[in-house]
Structure 1
Amino acid sequence: MSSVQPSQTGASTSNSPEHPWPVRSVATKVSQWIDRLGSIWVEGQITQINVRPGTRTAFLVLRDASVDMSLSVTCSPALIRDSPVPLTEGSRVVMFGKLSFYTGRGTVSLRVTEIRAVGIGELLARIERLRALLAAEGLFDPRLKRQLPFLPHTVGLITGRASAAERDVLSVAGKRWPAVQFEIRNTAVQGPTATAQIVAALAELDSNPAVEVIVLARGGGSVEDLLPFSDETLCRAIAACTTPVVSAIGHEPDNPLCDHVADVRAATPTDAAKRVVPDAVAEQALVAEFRARGAAALRNWVAREARSLADLRSRPVLADPLAAVDRRAEEIGRLREAGRRDVSRLVAGQATVVEHLAARLTTLGPAATLARGYSVVQKIVPGSDPEVLRSVEDAPPGTQLRVRVADGAVIAAVMGKDKSGEAQ
């Protein structure tokens, strides 16, 4: 293998299967790239401290509080011994140092020269800033809270292994509703690995269609112990769940951020069990009370309707329904007789009027006039009906006439005219 190292400018062009880089070249370039980062401040939790007597280097592991990532750290043992606040596994710290790549082993570590413990005041201030941020994004909005199922068949429980919180939830829920089932996920509930484990368990239970509600339970503790439950990653994971989440962290005074994001906040794990699972005895008593109240209401309604029917039956119209018909029948008979009499009188009166009018009509009619000796003279016009003769001028000599008298008519002809008007 050639010992000539490729130049930085021609590295990409000279590297090929025929001209591969030696390990030393790669290690050197990685060391150069990491060295460009310079000195930085890093925050995390100490998960391991290894200080051997007589050595000049202490080895630590710094872990991210939200995800499963860690970094090797080296420092002088004096930094740990002389720290104003004792540094232990689980301490939240801020370190200042520079990343180094050890070409001999191909490992990266952070060589620190300053370590500052994060105090309670700073932690609380950070929690308040995160609280304001999440509230501004609407994660605390009551309108986003989901209703808990009345009677869940399966409850998801995330808690510490063999913890008092687990015992409280299981015992109280079992006494209240023995048929309830649990999907339990035991995770770390404090320390650097807690957040990642809780988020993973939360995602697993949320994806299980049998789980109808998830309970996140932990007993009380210090502010540092409850820090994982104020982590932004966990809060956003709870908000993203499609299954209702109940937060039961610590005791009543404890108020981590997950309490605000969860759909229901329980004061204690025992309170969470009471909120999630109904009390069988109380529900049976309530059902019995409702049944008794329903039966009493039904009996009262039947009695009230029976009284109403009795009142209706006691009324005269229902006690003797034909009495009113008989009275009306008699009245109708009287009215019919009165109507017949009125009609008879009216018909008789009108008959008399008709007789009088007929007599007058007979008197005034042409037959009566003819009976008194008068006649009606009509001129016979060939091809048309006879016409009444009204003037002597209309009947020249020779005109045929029809003379109608009381007992018939005669046919005559005009012999001449006499305008004197006297009888001839």
Structure 2
Amino acid sequence: MSAAAPGQSADNPFPVRGVAIRVAGWIDKLGAVWVEGQIAQLTLRPGSNTAFITLRDPAADMSLALTCPRDVVVNAPVKMTDGTRVVVFGKPNFYTGRGSFSLRVSEIRAVGLGELLLRIERLRKLLDAEGLFDPRLKRPIPFLPNTIGLITGRASAAEHDITAVATSRWPAVRFAVRNTVVQGPNAVPQVVEALRALDADADVDVIVLARGGGTFEDLLPFSDETLCRAIARCSTPIVSAIGHEPDNPLCDLVADLRAATPTDAAKRIVPDAAAEQSLVNDMRRRSARALRNWVNREQHTLAQLRSRPVLARPLEAVQGRTEEIHRARAAARRDITRLVARESERIGHLSARLTTLGPAATLARGYAVVQIAAQTAVQSGVQTQAAVASGSAHVLRSVADAPAGARLRVRLADGAVTAISEGPATEDWGN
């Protein structure tokens, strides 16, 4: 049975120096590389020709150890301090004696202001294209926040200005303060962590991100992409009060409200109790005046309505109508009486005319109606069409209808007599 390769079993392990030498050999095969970051710590030991630098990633909680000759730091184009953004050129190196990794730097270049501005402009266009600056996404600031979250430097002028101004405007205001580093390589992660903590607090209604004025390099953390995206993810309204009026970091564009200064942020978040009380008093006076005016106007309207004749003397219209009804009834009764009288008179005239034209009046004047019995007329051979149709006696209309021997009935005014016809007469009654 063959023995296991070195380092592949517990019976044949590598010694520490073996592993360190092999790791150093592997890393030594890597080529030199340009790296950009922010100086988090710079150590220049007296009497040492080596400078030790901790280079931090501004957008992530990661760092890298650098070593370089002292002259590289001293002769750098700009003064190397904590927070300076640099681009370094170095080769990965593994120190076998301590088992540590570092980047052996041979050249350091400071990131120029023009380059920083260009990068911020590119980031601004990227965030704008993603909609992080869209005004429709801005959340409204509550009128009177329950608790104000404040992220600022410890014992800073911004914290003093905000708390003092807010308390003077509304004494009952409450703050949840988170003190963080507001410049340098540790600013972004600390501010992002404070944002997450305050956003998760249900009592916090608005969060203020505040910092006093400073140089362009001092305000660079507030144009960091990580911080801008953290602000956009918050569900609590964010107020950005970074620097002074001319300063305009990218977090101002992502935040829901931009304040020119920390003092301006306090004024825009917390209402002025005195001004609000004055406004309430003014509204009460205006409401009372409007109510009184409305009551007076309605009373005037009612007085006008009551002064109208129909309401001032309501029975007058009824009485006037009563007289009209009486007059109309009298006129109607008069017209009806006149009409009845006229029609009665007309009926009397018609009755008189009928009486005059009737057979009784004719008989009363000496006339008589001669009738021949139907049976006699048949026996005599005289049968008129009227007698046949009626089957009774009929009025004589011709002498031919009363031959000799015909039985006649003579109707007079006071009765009737019977007679026997002797035939047509030859005497002329007219003579």
Name the TM-score, length of structure 1 as normaliser.
0.79
**Cα offsets for 1:364-400 (capped at 9, x unmatched):** 99999xx9677999xxxxxxxxxxx9969999xxxxx
Provide the identity percentage: 63
- The answer on 1:253 being equivalent to 2:254 is no
Unaligned 5+ runs, structure 2: 362-367, 375-382, 407-431
Q: Match of 1:166, SS?
A: helix
Q: Is the 8 A contact 2:142 2:206 kept in 1?
A: yes
| Aligned partner (choices 70, 77, 84) of residue 91 of structure 1 | 84
- The answer on 1:168 being equivalent to 2:161 is yes
* Per-residue deviation, 1:51: 2.6
**2:62 is matched by which residue type in structure 1?**
M
**What is the match of residue 130 of structure 1?**
123
- The answer on 1:211 being equivalent to 2:204 is yes
**Cα offsets for 1:14-56 (capped at 9, x unmatched):** x689998887776667556655652221111111122334444
User: Within 5 A, what are the aligned runs for 1:410-421?
Assistant: none
**2:185 is matched by which residue type in structure 1?**
P
* Residues in 2 aligned to 1:261 and 1:177: alpha-carbon distance in whole angstroms: 28
- The answer on 1:159 being equivalent to 2:160 is no
**What is the match of residue 184 of structure 1?**
177
Q: Match of 1:66, SS?
A: coil
Moved more, 341-350 or 310-319: 341-350
Q: Match of 1:41, SS?
A: strand
**1:319 is matched by which residue type in structure 2?**
A
- The answer on 1:342 being equivalent to 2:335 is yes
* Residues in 2 aligned to 1:137 and 1:91: alpha-carbon distance in whole angstroms: 29
Moved more, 191-200 or 84-93: 84-93
Q: Match of 1:89, SS?
A: coil
Q: Match of 2:45, SS?
A: coil
User: Within 5 A, what are the aligned runs for 1:321-400?
Assistant: 321-351=314-344
Q: Is the 8 A contact 2:5 2:12 kept in 1?
A: no
User: Within 5 A, what are the aligned runs for 1:52-131?
Assistant: 52-103=45-96, 105-131=98-124
Moved more, 47-56 or 348-357: 348-357
Name the TM-score, length of structure 2 as normaliser.
0.78
**Cα offsets for 1:161-201 (capped at 9, x unmatched):** 11111011111111111111111111100010001111111
* Residues in 2 aligned to 1:45 and 1:166: alpha-carbon distance in whole angstroms: 26
User: Within 5 A, what are the aligned runs for 1:189-200?
Assistant: 189-200=182-193
Q: Match of 1:62, SS?
A: strand
Judging changes above 3 Å, is the alpha-carbon distance between structure 1 residues 93 and 365 closer, same or farther for their aligned structure 2 residues?
Answer: farther
* Residues in 1 aligned to 2:320 and 2:177: alpha-carbon distance in whole angstroms: 87
* Per-residue deviation, 1:102: 4.0
* Residues in 2 aligned to 1:373 and 1:37: alpha-carbon distance in whole angstroms: 170
* Residues in 2 aligned to 1:186 and 1:46: alpha-carbon distance in whole angstroms: 22
User: Cα RMSD (Å) of the superposition?
Assistant: 3.8
* Residues in 1 aligned to 2:304 and 2:81: alpha-carbon distance in whole angstroms: 90
Unaligned 5+ runs, structure 1: 7-14, 378-388, 396-400, 407-419
* Residues in 1 aligned to 2:227 and 2:152: alpha-carbon distance in whole angstroms: 14
* Residues in 1 aligned to 2:134 and 2:351: alpha-carbon distance in whole angstroms: 106
* Residues in 2 aligned to 1:235 and 1:296: alpha-carbon distance in whole angstroms: 51
| Aligned partner (choices 271, 293, 297) of residue 264 of structure 2 | 271
* Residues in 2 aligned to 1:167 and 1:390: alpha-carbon distance in whole angstroms: 148
- The answer on 1:297 being equivalent to 2:298 is no
Q: Match of 1:201, SS?
A: helix
